[in-house]
Amino acid sequence: MNYRRNRLPGGTYFFTVVTANRTPLFNNPAAVQRLRTTLRNVINRRPFTIDAMVVLPDHIHCLWTLPADDTNYSTRWRLVKGGFTKSFQQHSTGKPGKPKSLWQKRYWEHTIRDENDFNRHVDYIHYNPVKHGYVARAIDWPYSSFHRFVREGVLPVDWGINEAELEGVGSE
C-alpha cells in the first residue's frame, strides 16, 4: 500500500502510534522513562516541539510542531521507534543485536488546520486515559502533558469533569 502523507513545512501534526499487537509496553515507569530519553535524543538530533502528549500502556498520542523549514516527521518517528526498541530490548534481555520491532509498522497522522483543531486534539490527548478507563480524572494519569498544562495555568486541575467541556472530544 502506498501511503500519502501530508507535508507542511513547520506544520503541527497529531499522531497516534501503537505498539505491536497492542502489547502494554508502557505499563511501568522505567519503560516510560526510556521513551522520554529516546525522545530527548531525537529532539537533540532533529529538533521539534512536543506540544501535547499522553503515553498509555499500548499507544501514544501526541502533537508535534516541526521547525519552519522542515516537513520530515517520518524520520523522527523512525528514530523514536528504533531508539526506544533498541534501549528497551537491551535493558530487557541484556543482549545486543538486531531488535525485534515493538511497534506497529505505521502510525496515524493528522495535520492540524487551525487553533480550534489544535485545541480539540489537545483535549483528545488529555482525556484519552479517562476514555480508556485507566483513571477517573485526567489529572490522575501520570504520563500526560496535562500536568504541564495545569502548571502553566492553561487548564484547571479539575478539567474534564464537566461534560460540556468535552463536547466532540474522543470523536477522532
Task: Give catalytic residues, as residue numbers.
Answer: 143
Contact 11, 51 (CB under 8 A): no
Grid cell in block for residue 82: 528504533
* Cβ–Cβ < 8 Å for 71, 11: yes
The C-alpha atoms of residue 36 and residue 59 are separated, in whole angstroms, by 14
The side-by-side arrangement of strands in the sheet containing 12-18 is: 49-55, 59-65, 12-18, 108-111
